[in-house]
Structure 1
């Protein structure tokens, strides 16, 4: 599989994960902000998720990238494409650390990674699995051009599927 890419946007560097990203990631995952991802998570569970986000690049040619502010080098959150046995389709998701929320970083990062997935990785389809109570992520998915796909398979209860491009994977 090709290595994780490094992508540039106007304000962001989307780069492979580093161990130095772990403390901020762990703090986010231990907080109520991870509720829509079935959190909060204990450190051992968050560590497994962090490692899985990284390992997916070698296993599936997709995974997570950290959002870094190009102006000051601060890590602002994560955007990633998930694959594997627990995901019916390739799924793009995002998380934004509290200091960066509401500033358009998730839109900027997800737009760049979505376009990379379609144009470079040539994925046939891309969805977002969004908890029904997560109004901000539903709004962001629609802003990215995704449409609610009632026919798609969801990997969890209380989760809706928003399709960015392509057709549902065959059952």
Structure 2
């Protein structure tokens, strides 16, 4: 599948391109990736970046870059699955300096609506570290609720925040 291009009031959500890797890598290799088990190596950043791109061809989902029309990339939102996640997961992160402006909520809402609408999924989740209060606040704003019975990936402490298609 060709990745969708989604538009919000301020952002264009588009497929990653090679020019996005430097900012992506800077996030993944920094302490800002601590709620994703980081910081990680550049090799891990490259592996994740390629995974986010390849999942579009393999699973009809993947990563999208948050692009400001006048300011360039500010982060990523993704809908991912594959062997590492028990269910399709809506995730997001912002590049340094883009926090606190509502970009994560805006982008994640657009991808959530696409996933539960045109993509045709009935439910998706966000796997969030219990200490990541900022991401929990985004999930809450997006209408997710904690699913205490949801399967979690790996052994790290994780809350499963569930979104459902509207009846």
**Is the TM-score greater than 0.5?**
yes
The gaps in structure 1 that reach 5 residues or longer are 167-171
Asked if residue 104 in structure 1 is aligned to residue 102 in structure 2, the reply is: yes
Q: Distance in 2 between matches of 1:111 and 1:150?
A: 22
Query: What is the match of residue 112 of structure 2?
Result: 114
Query: What is the match of residue 52 of structure 2?
Result: 53
Q: Deviations over 1:36-56 (max 9, x none)?
A: 001111111110010001100
Deviation at 1:141, TM superposition (A): 0.4
Q: Distance in 1 between matches of 2:129 and 2:102?
A: 20
Q: Deviations over 1:8-39 (max 9, x none)?
A: 01100000000000000111111100000011
Query: What is the match of residue 44 of structure 1?
Result: 43
Deviation at 1:125, TM superposition (A): 1.3
For residue 97 of structure 2, give the secondary structure of its aligned residue in structure 1.
helix
Deviation at 1:73, TM superposition (A): 4.0
The gaps in structure 2 that reach 5 residues or longer are none
Q: Distance in 2 between matches of 1:6 and 1:115?
A: 13
Q: Deviations over 1:109-166 (max 9, x none)?
A: 0000000001100012100000111011011100100000001111132011000116
Alignment of 1:1-171 (within 5 A): 2-70=1-69, 72-156=70-154, 157-165=156-164
Q: Distance in 2 between matches of 1:124 and 1:165?
A: 6
TM superposition outliers: structure 1 runs of 4+ over 6 Å? none
Q: Distance in 1 between matches of 2:19 and 2:121?
A: 30
Q: How many residues align?
A: 164
TM-score normalised by length of structure 2 = 0.96
For residue 5 of structure 1, give the secondary structure of its aligned residue in structure 2.
coil
Superposed CA RMSD: 0.9
Q: Distance in 2 between matches of 1:164 and 1:124?
A: 9
For residue 88 of structure 1, give the secondary structure of its aligned residue in structure 2.
coil
